[in-house]
């Protein structure tokens, strides 16, 4: 009797083991999302319009991170400054597709700062004039010294800065080959409306 009981328990355990659900495979690690300036700008614009209805962009810039060196006109982190003329306030928004643990995630924003519409260095612009994206600006910059720079330093980070030159009435991309605009060995200026080369610094 005892033997029969043990056999029944063994068979029951065997059946339970066979019917258990197979273990699911571990989820693949999240991958960083690098995007062009226009993509990030549109994401931030939606958030900025929730802050102020009359919001207009002043500046857009990328930032190189561990998972993005800015090559091909894309970055995993972008920051934009927007202004509201009715509130006389400016605010920074950022978009991040980075998986770097030290980087912000998704859409974030800063506190408000004063905004002076008469200040020529912080003139807002119409987003409709942005007809040339950062990847196109990068391609132009490559033809005006960028290729040679990258050949010498393949890991050279590239930064993108978009602003409005009120004196020339020109929206322009600064394609910056270096860690910052201050000490960059090469900066190529591209017209963000026409996509044409302007000059290099």
Whether residue 131 is contained in a domain is answered as yes
Q: Which domain holds residue 51?
A: 37-200
Q: Would residue 11 count as lying in a domain?
A: no
Does 47 fall in a domain? yes
Cα separation, 36 vs 47, in Å, equals 18
Q: Is residue 23 part of a domain?
A: no
What lies within 8 Å, CB to CB, of 185 at 6+ separation is 149, 177, 178
- Confidence (pLDDT) at 22: 52
> What is the per-residue pLDDT for 19?
44
| C-alpha neighbours within 13 Å on the C-beta side of residue 149 | 21
Instruction: Tell me whether residue 25 is in a domain.
Output: no
What pLDDT does residue 29 have?
Answer: 63
Tokens of 62: 């990328």
DSSP secondary structure of 90-154: EEEEEEE----TTS--EEEE---EE--TT-GGG----GGG--S-HHHHHHHHIIIIIHHHHHH-T
pTM recorded for the entire structure: 0.83
Own/partner pairs, 15-18, CB within 8 angstroms, 24+ separation: none
Instruction: State phi, psi for 152 to the nearest 5 degrees.
Output: -75, -40
Task: Collect the ranges in the chain with pLDDT lower than 50.
Answer: 1-21
- Structural domain includes residue 8: no
Number of separate domains in the chain? 1
Q: Is 20 part of a structural domain of the chain?
A: no
Token representation of residue 55: 């919001």
pLDDT at residue number 28 = 62
Cα-based torsion angle of the residue sequence 64, 123, 46, 195 in order, rounded to the nearest 10 degrees: -60
Give the pLDDT confidence score for residue 105 in this predicted structure: 83
Distances (CA, A) of 88 to 57, 82, 185: 13, 11, 37
Residue 107 maps to a domain: yes
Structure token digits, residue 97: 């597709």
* Tens of pLDDT, residues 107-144: 899 999 999 998 988 899 998 899 999 999 999 999 99
Beta bridge partners of 61: 79, 161
């Amino acid at each position: 009797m005892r033997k029969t009981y043990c056999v029944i328990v063994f068979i029951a355990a065997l059946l339970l083991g066979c019917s258990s659900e197979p273990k699911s495979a571990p989820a693949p690690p999240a991958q960083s999302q690098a995007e062009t300036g226009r993509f990030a700008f549109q994401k931030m614009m939606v958030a900025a319009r929730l802050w102020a209805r009359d919001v207009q962009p002043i500046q857009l810039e990328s930032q190189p991170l561990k998972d993005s060196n800015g090559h091909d006109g894309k970055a995993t982190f972008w920051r934009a400054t927007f202004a509201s003329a009715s509130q006389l306030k400016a605010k920074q928004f950022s978009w991040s597709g980075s998986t770097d643990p030290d980087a912000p995630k998704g859409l974030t924003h800063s506190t408000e700062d004063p905004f002076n519409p008469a200040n020529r260095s912080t003139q807002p612009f119409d987003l409709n004039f942005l007809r040339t994206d950062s990847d196109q600006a990068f391609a132009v910059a490559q033809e005006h010294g960028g290729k040679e720079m990258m050949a010498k330093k393949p890991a050279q980070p590239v930064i993108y800065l978009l602003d409005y030159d009120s004196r020339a009435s020109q929206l322009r991309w600064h394609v910056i080959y270096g860690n910052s605009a201050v000490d960059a060995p090469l900066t190529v200026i591209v017209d963000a409306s026409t996509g044409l080369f302007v000059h290099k610094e």
